[in-house]
């Protein structure tokens, strides 16, 4: 079953008199799930976009390259971000031990008519500025969001954890399904069955 079919199935049972706001929230959830799956498959690293720098064309990779600052495990880190118009990205950064790590990902947006399109660079940068979940070898589970680090290992009940994250004037409601995805919303916690 493709992601598109999963999204349609997951949201086919939703009905509301607030069609416009539910459609916006549905699109946001679908975008996040697609990005989270791609990021989790690549590597469990906390990324959040914090600022831009100089722009240069990366001819060998066919995309646009920026020097950006991202949050890695709650620490600001300089990185090279290469965006491709197909909605994919590659992010390279130096770790504390001096090695260079790369993360690739991407995503699609689901339009109101059900069609898919690649994320724009602005949407991609916005998506990188979202909380990330990391499962460690020692069994602990951490949420990273900008300069915040939270151990949520003991907060799971029946495989689901609800986390409220605040950063300045912004509050996000995060639903985490143990080792099976997560989603955020600025309005309310997402129902766990929407993550299937």
Domain span at residue 67? 3-195
**pLDDT at residue number 37:** 45
**pLDDT by 10s per residue, the chain, length 196:** 676 666 555 555 544 444 445 555 656 665 555 454 444 433 333 333 333 333 333 334 456 787 888 777 788 888 888 888 888 888 888 888 888 988 888 888 889 999 999 888 778 777 777 888 999 999 999 998 888 889 999 999 999 999 998 877 788 899 999 998 888 888 888 887 766 6
The token pair at 110 is: 């689901």
pLDDT of residue 10: 57
What backbone phi and psi angles, to 5 degrees, belong to 11?
Answer: -105, 0
SS (H, E, C) 20-55: HHHHHHHHHHHHHHHHHHHHHHHCCCCCCEEECCCE
What's the confidence (pLDDT) of residue 135?
92
Distance CA 175, CA 182 (A): 6
pLDDT score of 177: 92
Is 128 strand, coil or helix? helix
- Catalogue the long-range contacts made by 101-106 (C-beta closer than 8 Å, 24 or more residues apart): 101/43, 101/45, 103/39, 103/42, 103/43, 103/45, 103/47, 104/38, 104/42, 105/35, 105/38, 105/39, 105/42, 106/35, 106/38
What confidence score (pLDDT) does residue 90 get? 86
What integer pLDDT is reported at residue 41 of this predicted model? 36
How many structural domains compose the chain? 1
Structure tokens at 26: 């549905």
Token pair in block for residue 87: 């909605």
């Amino acid at each position: 079953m493709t992601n598109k079919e999963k999204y349609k199935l997951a949201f086919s049972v939703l009905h509301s008199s607030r069609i416009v706001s539910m459609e916006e929230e549905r699109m946001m959830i679908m975008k996040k799930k697609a990005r989270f799956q791609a990021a989790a498959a690549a590597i469990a690293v906390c990324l959040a976009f914090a600022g831009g720098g100089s722009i240069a064309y990366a001819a060998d990779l066919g995309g646009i390259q920026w020097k950006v600052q991202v949050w890695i495990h709650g620490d600001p880190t300089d990185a090279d971000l290469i965006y491709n118009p197909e909605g994919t990205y590659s992010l390279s950064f130096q770790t504390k031990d001096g090695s260079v790590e790369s993360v690739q990902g991407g995503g699609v947006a689901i339009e109101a008519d059900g069609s898919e399109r690649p994320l724009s660079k602005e949407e991609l940068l916005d998506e990188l500025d979202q909380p990330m979940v990391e499962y460690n070898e020692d069994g602990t589970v951490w949420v990273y969001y900008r300069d915040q680090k939270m151990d949520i290992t003991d907060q799971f009940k029946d495989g689901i954890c609800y986390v409220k994250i605040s950063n300045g004037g912004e509050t996000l409601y995060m639903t985490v399904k143990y080792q099976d995805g997560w989603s955020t919303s600025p309005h309310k916690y997402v129902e766990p069955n929407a993550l299937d």
